Amino acid sequence: SVIVINSLDECIDPMVQVSILQIIAKAVCYDAFLLGFFITSRPEHHLQDVFDTKELIFATKLIYWTVFQGFHRTFKLGFTRILNDHKFRMALRSVPRPWPSPEKIKELVNRSSGQFIYAATVMRFISGPDHNPNAQLEIVLGIKKSEKTSPLEDLDILYTEILSRAQDTERTMKVLAYILAIRKVSHKDCNKSLPMAIGKAATLNQQRLLLVIEQLLYLSPGEAYFSLNQLHSLILIEVGSESFRRNLKIEFHHTVPIKSIAHTKYKQTRLRET
């Protein structure tokens, strides 16, 4: 059996990253230990130091892979699908070829900073059914890059830009904040300071989630769903063939940036209400 640890370098605390490797190093020293590990990470200095220790240097095999090649292929395939999609033919008929230019694809690869979730989010945003792909591409390229070294900063900025383009940003952010708050209450480590109405909503099944949120926020029926439906690049919404309320499924493609943004909005909303 093999345990896969993907993107070890993305753990927030570098000391935790080192501790994980040290625990693995102790484990693999035992002949009776039959598990293998497949670890992916950027070649950060503190991680390389651990791999160079006597416990791991002979027990591991390093494979250097240029991720930029993989990202370049990901974007090329994504844009080829868009060009071949009949619903975009009229919108892209006058766009110069090749589209996008090699320079723009290179810029997207650089902005990805090794984050596949960034590339996936960008392609979902550009291929949205109700927008011109070329215009969406220019929006992404027009976002100012973060000056911080963390690659997650650019992902956070991308999410913020997408959320800001919702038709009613204030309403959309509130709906997201309440969804995350209600889901958090259902876990054992829930925040006891949350309003009683949210705690009660957490006991309901997901099919009634939006209905409850509409009541909490005094929204008209359907407004919560409309708010989320604009965020196809961030949220997957599936509606079954039967009753809308009984077959609704909401999944976040990637929740970390949404949690940080929506939680901030939730706190601001509570402060205004009190």
221/182 Cα distance (integer angstroms)? 19
The string of pLDDT tens digits covering residues 196-239 is 444 444 444 555 778 888 888 999 988 888 888 878 888 877 65
Query: Which of 108-122, 129-143, 171-185 is the most confident on average?
Result: 129-143
Grade residue 90 by pLDDT with cuts at 50, 70 and 90.
Answer: very high
- Per the listing, tokens 């961030």 go with 234
DSSP 3-state of 237: strand
pLDDT at 259 (0 to 100): 61
> Looking at 12-26, 60-74, 151-165, 251-265, which range is the least confident one?
251-265
> Looking at 18-32, 53-67, 222-236, which range is the least confident one?
53-67
Percent of the chain surpassing pLDDT 70: 75
Q: Do 176 and 265 contact (CB within 8 A), yes or no?
A: yes
Looking at the DSSP assignment, which residues form a beta bridge with residue 252? 235
- Exposed, middle or buried, 4 (CB in 10 Å: 0-12/13-18/19+)? exposed
Percent of the chain surpassing pLDDT 90: 26
